[in-house]
Amino acid sequence: MEVLIERNRGFAAAFDQGDLPIPPAERLAILTCMDARVDPLRAFGLRLGDAHMIRNAGGRASDDALRSLIISANLLQVRSVAVVHHTDCGMQTFTDEALRTRLAEELGVDASGLRFLPFSDLEESVREDVRRIRSSPFLPPDLVVGGFVYDVRSGLLREVPSA
Ligand SMILES: [Zn+2]
């Protein structure tokens, strides 16, 4: 992984944004998938320092994603959260049971206590995560939470209406 250090030298040589404040300028947090095809800064017209990026497999509102949002909204001035799932997501390609079986077979481990949060219905997964964030008692009641789907083929973002 030495290549990361090498490439960073070039980046750091031209870097001139070392004085940004901690709270994100747009008071925004984006919860999205770790998928390598999703580049939230470029896709949503954001710059360094504009928004918190919370990423995990699927962009799910997991306990750990909520941990980050609680800190964003209560300590770091975030006022709105965009939940962004995407088309062709790897989370639609397996089930908890299938992954548990694979882990048992390949690693000899019991993963029955782990939930991986895969989904089959893309829009419903967005609505479910928006609901989970909105219903957290640890987030301000006036926090704005929106749901979106990003299309990895067209690059287009569309809103998912709350049902
Ligand atoms: Zn994904």
| Å from CA of 34 to ligand 1 middle | 6
Residue 6 lies in a domain: no
Q: Which domain holds residue 69?
A: 26-159
Q: 3-state DSSP helix/strand/coil percent for the chain, to nearest 5?
A: 35, 20, 45
| Å from CA of 19 to ligand 1 middle | 32
> Please, which pLDDT band fits residue 13 given cuts at 50, 70 and 90?
very high
| Å from CA of 100 to ligand 1 middle | 19
C-alpha closest to that of 85 among 143, 147, 41: 147
pLDDT at 76: 98
**Whether the Cβ atoms of residue 116 and residue 89 lie closer than 8 Å to each other:** no
Domain containing 91 — which CATH number? 3.40.1050.10
| Å from CA of 68 to ligand 1 middle | 19
Q: What does pTM read for this prediction?
A: 0.96
Residue 162 has pLDDT above 90, yes or no: no
pLDDT at 157: 98
**Whether the Cβ atoms of residue 31 and residue 53 lie closer than 8 Å to each other:** no
Mean pLDDT of the chain: 97
The count of domains in the chain is 1
Share above pLDDT 70 across residues of the chain, in percent, rounded to a whole number: 99
Q: Please, which residues have CB within 8 angstroms of residue 147's CB and are 6 or more apart in sequence?
A: 82, 83, 126, 127, 129, 130, 159, 160, 161, 162
Residue 21 lies in a domain: no
